[in-house]
Amino acid sequence: MNKIVEKLGIMVCGHGSRNQNAMKEFAKVAGGLKEKFPHLPVEYGYLEFCNPVISHGLDQLREQGVTKVLAVPGMLFAAGHAKNDIPSVLNTYQAQNPGMEIIYGRELGIDLKMIRAAGERVMEAMAAGDKEHGKVPPHETLLMVVGRGASDPDANSNVSKVMRMIWEGLGFGWGETCYSGVTFPLVEPGLEHAAKLGYRRIVVFPYFLFTGVLVKRIFSYTDDVAARHADIQFVKAPYLNDHPLVIETFADRVNEILDGQNLMNCQMCKYREQVLGFEDQVGLAQESHHHHVEGIGGGLEDCPCKGDCDASCREEAFCKEHGLPWTPVHTHDHHDHSDGHNHDHDQGHTHHPYPHADHPHGPVTMKK
């Protein structure tokens, strides 16, 4: 009787972006992971807005004879995408391909390597600010860390912890946290509050892996607030991107799967436990909300924005003018996401409403 030989492969699961440069950056990180595991095939895919989709990456692994997939979410923190959307896609694929086992790893999360990478990005920005505008001591500088923002308080609180560790590690005079969307405070009200605290310099650091609509919007809001406070020096720190320590953390997540240590923080998960203010979400069904937008975005690689997309390529008139394929963005009438895309609830799916969507410093203040 012939024994089936197990073959391992790695799958990096991303969210996706309308910004082609973001996708190039994601692919570069996947390439960096391949260098860490040269003996294993490595593929990647996205939930929405661009190609390849996750199922395509899994198809590529299957065609290479992979029987066991080590799947890692390309996410900083575990919120809805990492807890619901990606697992749903992976479970569906495995059900359709019983000869392939898929083991899911955990998000990058709170990790000392990630904190060190973030600290180095912030120090880059401070050095550039000193060179351009003159030296400002850390004690006279406020650090503003900007997170993605989610309807999951556990993920949001992790951004605050990252901020605190950078603040304390580098000795800033003060530290604050705000978010690009979904929760509160958003970037503009957060920076306006920070400007009132009397610091000579504010360092704005997007705690993001890659560029995209949100990072561009964060820096746009920074420019708006800076224009109203000419007496304060605003410095924009670069996002994490392919920092070597980021790639090392991804490799650690793969090794955790191999060691059987791939455990998310379920103690603080609103789907499992009674989280204050989110008690009605315990036990919600695990399902993907991105099936209807998988793969949209292909064919825009040669758009006039040269890959640094500001979402104009999702406007019908713009596409017609430039001879581009137009794919309407789904709508989201309760503003659960704030990256410029919305979910059309006629598509046959819903999101649980965020309980503080009407917060005065939150989603209702988003400027479209």
Residue 315, domain member (yes or no) = no
Provide the number of structural domains found in the chain.
1
Residue 166, domain member (yes or no) = yes
Residue 141, domain member (yes or no) = yes
Phi, psi of 366 (to 5 degrees): -65, 135
Check residue 178 and report its DSSP letter.
Answer: E
- What average pLDDT does the chain have? 84
Residue 337, domain member (yes or no) = no
313-340 mean pLDDT: 56
Residue 327 is predicted with a pLDDT of 59
The answer to whether the beta carbons of residues 111 and 245 sit under 8 Å apart is no
The token pair that represents 316 in the structure block: 């019908």
Q: Between these two residues, 279 and 237, which has the higher pLDDT value?
A: 237
Which residue is catalytic, options 15, 243, 330, 343?
A: 15
146-172 mean pLDDT: 94
Report how far residue 194's alpha carbon sits from residue 108's, in angstroms, rounded to the nearest whole number: 28
Burial of 135 by CB count in 10 Å (0-12 exposed, 13-18 middle, 19+ buried)? exposed
Report how far residue 51's alpha carbon sits from residue 53's, in angstroms, rounded to the nearest whole number: 5
Residue 145's domain is classified under what CATH number?
3.40.50.1400
pLDDT band at 354 (very low <50, low <70, confident <90, very high): confident
Q: Between these two residues, 322 and 107, which has the higher pLDDT value?
A: 107
Q: pLDDT digits over 82-123, tens only?
A: 888 899 999 999 999 999 999 999 999 999 999 999 999 999
Q: What are the residues whose beta carbons fall under 8 Å from the beta carbon of 91, sequence distance 6 or more?
A: 102, 286
Residue 340 is predicted with a pLDDT of 34
Residue 201, domain member (yes or no) = yes
Residue 129, domain member (yes or no) = yes
Q: How much is the pTM? A: 0.83
Note down the domain range covering 213. Answer: 112-236
- Say which residue the tokens 């603080």 belong to: 268
- Reduce the DSSP state of residue 68 to 3 states and report it: strand
Residue 44, domain member (yes or no) = no
**Does pLDDT of 334 surpass 60?**
no
**Does pLDDT of 368 surpass 50?**
no
Question: Which of 363, 330, 328 is closest to 348 using CA atoms?
Answer: 330
Distance of CA 234 to the CA centre of its chain: 24
Residue 343 is predicted with a pLDDT of 36
- Buried b or exposed e, range 80-101, using 16+ CB within 10 angstroms: bbbbbbbbbbbeebbeeeeebe
Q: pLDDT digits over 4-16, tens only?
A: 679 999 999 999 8
44-48 mean pLDDT: 93
**Does pLDDT of 149 surpass 50?**
yes
**Does pLDDT of 23 surpass 80?**
yes
- Say which residue the tokens 């306006």 belong to: 192
Task: State what percent of residues in the chain have pLDDT above 90.
Answer: 61
The token pair that represents 16 in the structure block: 């996706």
pLDDT band at 336 (very low <50, low <70, confident <90, very high): very low
Residue 143, domain member (yes or no) = yes
129-150 mean pLDDT: 95
Q: pLDDT digits over 254-304, tens only?
A: 999 999 987 776 666 665 665 565 666 666 665 655 554 455 555 455 566
Report how far residue 81's alpha carbon sits from residue 73's, in angstroms, rounded to the nearest whole number: 9
The answer to whether the beta carbons of residues 319 and 325 sit under 8 Å apart is yes
**Does pLDDT of 331 surpass 50?**
no
**Does pLDDT of 243 surpass 90?**
yes
Phi, psi of 44 (to 5 degrees): -145, 160
Q: How many CB atoms lie within 10 A of CB 68?
A: 14
Residue 213 is predicted with a pLDDT of 87
pLDDT band at 344 (very low <50, low <70, confident <90, very high): very low
Report how far residue 52's alpha carbon sits from residue 132's, in angstroms, rounded to the nearest whole number: 41
In 13-97, which ranges are continuous DSSP H helix? 20-36, 54-63, 80, 86-96
Q: Judge whether 15 counts as a catalytic residue.
A: yes
